[in-house]
Structure 1
């Protein structure tokens, strides 16, 4: 039998990223394997927030909207500044990404923009948005909303049939790069090329990708992308999301939420809307300064660690865990791809009582999560997760199953958030 405990100890001792764990506020008694849902708190964030609240807001008041040279804290450029810092993490240019709103809102903007593209001069009218069943709900729900307005027609095809489903009526291929439940990763380059050959545009949801797996939107020639800031970017609960638009679409981009911050001159207070240049026109309302400042700290930290090192550790860590579960807890059925390069920084297993197993783990301070109807999911945020945390999850799972601890009634009581 493999000595996984010893292997975990050796891997932790040799881990080049071990020093970065100290940059997060984490209880060493907790094995936190849910950073793919909510990233840990960077140590620098509370001080940054205190500065924003006490000095910039408390002392600077409204002057803090202006640039440093004008005596402010430059709040007004936070969306562009944070977007430019996210850009290299996803293979984009600094003027191609904007931090704003939520993933859901940004999906609405960009799906609408893609459909508007096919209502313009010189384009055959298309309104079909193609996705896959089981895609993350908000992606599908946003299309439902547009379908209810008569602007879109939703079409779903299993992932193995997506290319065949790209017919002359498809306007947009909308996919989540890393599947939220299984962790299976789409071939972005191949599917983007197939969509373009069919005359369609592509929108990638990077919520389970950014900060954890390699993404190169420029190389893939992607049209649009969205992603969230509170998972691997550690921006905090409800952190602002981001949106990407390829430069070739900047001039013609039309998004439906024409709020004043997306105006070319918001402080001219004109009656008629004139869109700002480039991705700035994706802004709508006033940016949430406190949340955006927290996100900036998280993004800065991930950028300092570096994506190459994060990806390398993520793959080693998830593969260590997959092997350990396969050998020691074989009654769990892994539903994630076996190849680390074909999955995100997570693993999921199917079990009839996955919810109860998850709750029993959490009581033992091993934090993963559950995805209906029967998936136990563990995430590997390589900036701070230890191999010892992964081994602890496996050994506790084995004990929970052997002892029958999961059968206790309290573990079956469903919480509002799972």
Structure 2
């Protein structure tokens, strides 16, 4: 009799067990017949069903690229075996969804020389190796795509939080762009960016669409997330702090969100209506020193508009666009109230994901049970523990399906040994 262990896994060109169940899915019925907490109930968006509501938040690793034959680093923006191991750890252990770190839609839009890119087919093909492994585990995986705007061309954050790369070592400071020629921090390390022309704006919009198309058609990702947060190019357009344009892309609220709306339309045009599209935004600028700051009221208004434009999930974060932003300190669930306010307004028009120091399984489940948001996205928790979804299941007393190669050590088939012992006594 053939078992799943012996069945070839068509997703990958090497041996990998064909998992009999979706990893991270709650076993039904539960061994004790208890109801399944909503955190571990599945959620469907279009053609994709996530087995639980615990997601890996996109987190830049700044480790992409190649090494030349003479041993020098090359800025190819290609995924490496590091990324395969990094994301494989999450998709082997039952995360409900994994969002791959921000991939640049163009070389000049990369946050650093070591960012992932998805502006050519070779980059997309390397990412496919990660996707195929995830799908071999029946896991769901998407990718965040973005443009750094005036915060592009930076050093990896683990080297310096706010320092650009010199042109002598491959930097492209003269090509940094933004809605307006306003630097991030006066007398800071980021240079004054070049104000985008309308022709350049149209090209970048196209870049987003083509990046999404590669991600779906070449890499095979299950969904796309547009990065519209943290002071990168999209944020720079919708926040009046950084957008002082006098044309149709600046001034009024409607004009400042135009760039984002046109990106959404282009992405949807390139990948169609069947693929889920996520959008991450900064719900507020966290800057009380100016009336130009983006507010929660702005985000609520935007949420209704992007829902009509085809966004399926709104991912709620904050800040990153003002050097005067207030510090959030060590508070947990830092964006909970923003996510709750938006969810209360939009209801079922949008799935709402919340990120930001979500570090307690019971609190996360209660927030979802209460309808404050729909998905918990966790960053540092997964870095510390790739099996966080499994850990949270244990904390909530939920049995979930795990991989064959891991689960046997926790739930050995004792009955098989008992049978052999009894047989030996005969």
**Scaled by the length of structure 1, what TM-score is found?**
0.24
More helix by share: 1
Q: Point out which structure has higher relative CO (alpha carbons under 8 A, 6+ apart).
A: 1
